[in-house]
Amino acid sequence: MSDLDALARRLEQFADARDLAQFHNPKNLALALAGEVGELLAEFQWLTPDQAASVMTEDVEAAARIWAELGDVTNYLVRLADVLGVDLIQAANAKIDANDKRYPADRYRGSARKAPGDH
């Protein structure tokens, strides 16, 4: 069992022990995930790029909040994927493969431009 699978099982057990599965439908989990991503973004909102790059080593209190928000984001993402029956590692690798084809390194190296057809 992978670490990700073990986390999914632990989250499932946590939800089952508290009878939370009734609330863990894809819509609610996606909304909860979006909310937690918003809380993570708020931690970076007014930082300069340099401050953001060093926040985990330069600001102990902010680092603790970011650590916690990343945990929340991860937990909701893993729970949502589990409820939907999506293998996150397989989905992530498939997305990298697709992006590798859409953004060939020889044409997009060092560029943030979008591929044709992106909106």
| CATH code for position 11 | 1.10.287.1080
Measured in residues, the chain has a length of: 119
Domain-located, residue 109: no
Cβ count near 55 (within 10 Å): 17
Residue 117, pLDDT > 80, answer: no
HSE-up of 103 (CA within 13 Å, CB side)? 15
pLDDT band of residue 40 (cuts 50, 70, 90) is very high
72-94: average pLDDT: 98
Residue 108 included in any domain? no
Over residues 7-24, mean pLDDT: 98
How far, in Å, CA of 46 to CA of 38, rounded? 14
Q: Is residue 65 part of a domain?
A: yes
pLDDT tops 90 at residue 119: no
Structure confidence at residue 64 (pLDDT): 98
C-alpha distances in Å from residue 90, one per residue of 4, 14, 54, 77, 94: 12, 25, 31, 14, 6
Q: Binning pLDDT at 50, 70 and 90, where does residue 81 land?
A: very high
Going by pLDDT thresholds of 50, 70 and 90, the confidence category of residue 118 is low
Answer yes or no: is pLDDT of 84 > 60. Answer: yes
Q: How far is CA 29 from the centre of its chain?
A: 13
| 116 part of a folded domain | no
Task: Report the pLDDT averaged over residues 70-74.
Answer: 98
Q: Kind and range of the H or E element at 77?
A: helix 60-84
Calculate helix-pair angle for 49-58, 26-44, nearest 10 degrees. Answer: 100
Residue 60 within a domain: yes
How high is the mean pLDDT of the chain?
Answer: 96
Full domain range(s) for residue 46: 3-19+26-100
Is 112 domain-assigned? no
Res 10: pLDDT: 98
Say what the pLDDT of residue 116 is. Answer: 84
* Number of independent structural domains in the chain: 1
Domain assignment present for residue 89? The answer is yes
Contact between 33 and 82 (Cβ < 8 Å): no
The pLDDT of residue 63 is above 70: yes
> Does residue 39 sit within a domain?
yes
